[in-house]
Amino acid sequence: VDLTGFERLLTARGQAVLAEATEADLTESGLLATATKLRERYPAELVAAALTQARLRLRARDKFGADADRMYFTPAGLEQSTRASVAAYRARRFAAHGPVLELGCGIGADLLARVRAGAGGTAVDRDPLTAAVARANLAAFGLSERASVRVADAAGQDPRGYAAVFADPGRRTARGRVFDPKAYEPPLDTVLALAGQAPAACVKVAPGIPHEAVPAAAEAEWISVRGEVKEAALWLGELSGPVRRRATLIGAGDEPVTLTPGTSEPPPVRGWGRYLYEPDGAVIRAGLVADVAAATGGGLIDEQIAYVTADAHVPTPFAAAYAIEDVRPFSLKDLRAELRRREVGTLTLKKRGSAVDLDRLRRDLRQHHRGGAELTVVLTRVGRAPVMVLAHPIKPAKPAKPATR
Ligand SMILES: C[S@@+](CC[C@H](N)C(=O)[O-])C[C@H]1O[C@@H](n2cnc3c(N)ncnc32)[C@H](O)[C@@H]1O
C-alpha cells in the first residue's frame, strides 16, 4: 500500500470497506472469496488496502491487544514497533517531561503511549507513509490535538524548546538486522548528539549493546517481557535515575518489577547447593547476576556462567528456581539410562556454557524416554568439565491477592 492508497482508506468509503474487511473471513482459505465479494461493491485497490490492514490488525493483537483493532500499520512498522506493555511502562517516566521530540516515530506505538501518559509533542519520521500511519493512530484514539507528526529527517531537527527527546532507531534496515550502532537508522551517534541538546532523553537500543557503548552518564535499562529480553533503553539527563544499570521484567499483566545494583561485590564461586537459579535475561544483560546471588544467599558454580546455586529456596521474580536432584558429569549414555529409570515422559532441556546442540540431543533422546514423570536437565560446565544437572522447576508463588472487604 502506498501513501495515496492509505489515505483513501481513511476516507468514509475506505472506513466502510475496512469495517467490512475486519468482520470478514481473513484466513488463507477464505481470503480470496472475501476479496471477490468486496470487489463487487468497492474498487479493487481499496479492497486490497483494507484487507492488508485488517490482516495486519490481526497480527498486531499480540503486541497491542484490543487497541490493534483500531490502529493502522505497515508491515515493517508493525515489525519494528514497541509492544504496548513496554511502551506504556517507558512512557510513565516521560509524564512530567513534555513536550517531547521523537526522532523516527514509526507507526507511533511509543508516541501513543507517551501522549496517553501526558507527554505530547512532535514526532518526525522520514518515511511519508509511516508518518501518515502514525498520524492516523493518534486520530484513532482522539489524541491528534496533543501531538503532531511531521515527515522529516531526524538529523535536521532542533531539540530546543522540547523538554525531552525520544528515539527508537531502526535496527532492521533494507540490509537486514544491524548490530553496529553506527548502522542504526538514524545512527546512534546522530541521535545521542541531538539527545544531548535536550534537558532529558531516552534512546531505545538493542539489548546486546556492549556496556562500553553506553554513555557514561546514562542509566541503561534492560527490559524483558515474560522472560524474553526485548530491548535496552538509555535514559539521559533529567530522565536518568540514581542508578547506572537496571533490569526490568514485565509479566503477563502484573506490575513490572525492577532490579538495580545493590552489591558491588562479585558473586562468590562455590560448589553445588540444593537449588539452581537461572537469572532472567535482562538481569544477565544488566550485569546484575551478583544481586540474584546475594538475594538468594548463593553463588556461581563457575565465574563465567550466569547460573546461581544456593542451599535455600528464596523466591525471587528475577530468576527461575529449580530444585536440584542430582549433578553428574555429562554423558549421553548415562542420561538415556536415567531417563528410562525415572520413566521421564516430559523432558525440558536447558543449557548455558555447554557446547551440546540441544536440538540434536533432543532427537537423540527421543526414543529413550516414555512415562509420566517430568524432568529438567540443565547442561553446563564447571571449569572445563561438562555437567548435567537433573532438576525440577519450582513454580513461582502467585502474589497474594489483596484482601477484599
Ligand atoms: C524502529 S522504528 C520506530 C518504532 C516506534 N518506536 C514504534 O514503536 O512504533 C524507526 C523509525 O525511524 C525512521 N527513520 C530512520 N531513519 C530516519 C531518519 N534519518 N530520520 C527520520 N526518521 C528515520 C524509520 O522510517 C522508522 O519508521
pLDDT digits (tens, 9 = 90+) for 221-249: 999 999 999 999 999 999 999 999 999 99
Q: Is residue 405 predicted with pLDDT exceeding 50?
A: no
Q: What is the pTM of this model?
A: 0.92
Residue 178, number of CB atoms within 10 A of its CB: 17
Phi/psi zone of residue 360: left (φ > 0), alpha (ψ -120 to 50 degrees), beta?
Answer: alpha
Residue nearest to atom 10 of ligand 1 (CA): 170
Dist CA 205 CA 12 (whole Å): 39
Q: Which atom of ligand 1 is nearest to the CA of 110?
A: 8
pLDDT in tens, 201-218: 999 999 999 888 899 999
Q: Is the per-residue pLDDT at 402 higher than 70? A: no
Per-residue pLDDT reduced to its tens digit, 249-299? 998 767 999 999 998 889 999 999 999 999 999 999 999 999 999 999 999
Would you state the pLDDT for residue 221? 98
pLDDT for the residue 126: 97
Ligand 1 centre to CA of 174 (Å) is: 13
Query: Do 120 and 147 form a contact (C-beta atoms < 8 A)?
Result: yes
Residue 139 has pLDDT above 60, yes or no: yes
For residue 345, pLDDT beyond 50: yes
Which residue has a Cα nearest atom 19 of ligand 1? 186
Beta-sheet pairing, 147-151 with 121-125:
parallel
**How crowded is residue 339: how many other Cβ atoms within 10 Å of its Cβ?**
21
Instruction: Please give the grid coordinates belonging to residue 202.
Output: 531516552
* pLDDT tens digit sequence for 145-164: 999 999 999 999 999 999 99
> 319-329 and 385-394 as β-strands: parallel, antiparallel, unpaired?
antiparallel
CA of 10 from ligand 1 middle (Å) equals 22
Query: Could you write out the three-class secondary structure of the chain?
Result: CCHHHHHHHCCHHHHHHHHHHHHCCCCHHHHHHHHHHHHCCCCHHHHHHHHHHHHHHHHHHHHHHHHHHHCCCCHHHHHHCCCHHHHHHHHHHHCCCCCEEEECCCCCHHHHHHHHCCCCEEEEECCHHHHHHHHHHHHHCCCCCCEEEEECCHHHCCCCCCCEEEECCECEECCEECCCHHHCECCHHHHHHHHCCCCEEEEEECCCCCHHHCCCCCEEEEEEECCEEEEEEEEEECCCCCCCEEEEEECCCCCCEEECCCCCCCCCECCCCCEEEEECHHHHHCCCHHHHHHHHCCEECCCCCCCEEECCCCCCCCEEEEEEEEEEECCHHHHHHHHHHHCEEEEEEEECCCCCCHHHHHHHHHHHCCCCEEEEEEEEEECCEEEEEEEEEECCCCCCCCCCC
Q: What is the mean pLDDT of residues 178-186?
A: 88
* pLDDT value, residue 178: 83
And the C-alpha cell for 150? 511531521
pLDDT, tens digit (0-9, with 9 covering 90-100), for 32-72 = 999 999 999 999 999 999 999 999 999 999 999 999 999 99
pLDDT of 192 > 80? The answer is: yes
Residues with CB under 6 A from ligand 1: 80-82, 104-110, 124-127, 130, 153-155, 168-170, 185-186
Pairing mode of beta strands 228-237, 200-205: antiparallel
Tell how far the Cα of 8 is from the centroid of ligand 1, in angstroms.
Answer: 23
Q: What percent of the chain has pLDDT over 70?
A: 97
Q: How far does residue 132's CA lie from ligand 1's centre (Å)?
A: 13
pLDDT for residue 93 is more than 80:
yes
Whose cell is 535515575? That residue is 241
Q: Is the pLDDT of residue 399 over 80?
A: no
- Nearest atom in ligand 1 to the alpha carbon of residue 107 is 9
**Average of pLDDT values for 122-129?**
98
Grid cell of 314 as nine digits: 528464596
Q: Phi, psi at residue 173, to the nearest 5°?
A: -105, -175
C-alpha of residue 124 to centroid of ligand 1, in Å? 8
> Scanning the structure block, which residue is given the C-alpha cell 508463588?
397
What average pLDDT does this structure show over 336-340? 93
Residue 351 in contact with residue 373, Cβ under 8 Å? no
**Distance of CA 51 from the midpoint of ligand 1 (Å):** 25
Gyration radius of the chain's alpha carbons? 25
Angle between the 44-64 and 12-23 helix axes, to the nearest 10 degrees? 60
Q: Is the pLDDT of residue 301 over 50?
A: yes
Nearest by Cα to 49 from 77, 72, 82 = 72
pLDDT at 404: 44
Contacts of 366 (CB under 8 A, 6+ apart): none
The DSSP bridge partners found for residue 164 are 100, 200
The rounded Å distance from CA 125 to ligand 1 centre is: 6
Whole-number average pLDDT of the chain:
94
Q: Report pLDDT for 259.
A: 97
Atom of ligand 1 nearest to the CA of 155: 19
Residue 151 sits at φ, ψ, to 5 deg, of -90, 115
What local confidence, expressed as pLDDT, does residue 110 receive?
98
Q: How many angstroms separate the alpha carbon of residue 243 from the centre of ligand 1?
A: 28
Judge contact between 98 and 118, C-beta under 8 A: yes
Pocket test for ligand 1, best of 185, 190, 202, 231 (most atoms within 8 A of CB): 185
Average pLDDT over residues 310-334: 96
Q: Which cell numbers hold the place of 118? A: 501526558
Choice from 56, 112, 138, 168 to test ligand 1 binding pocket (greatest atom count within 8 A of CB): 168
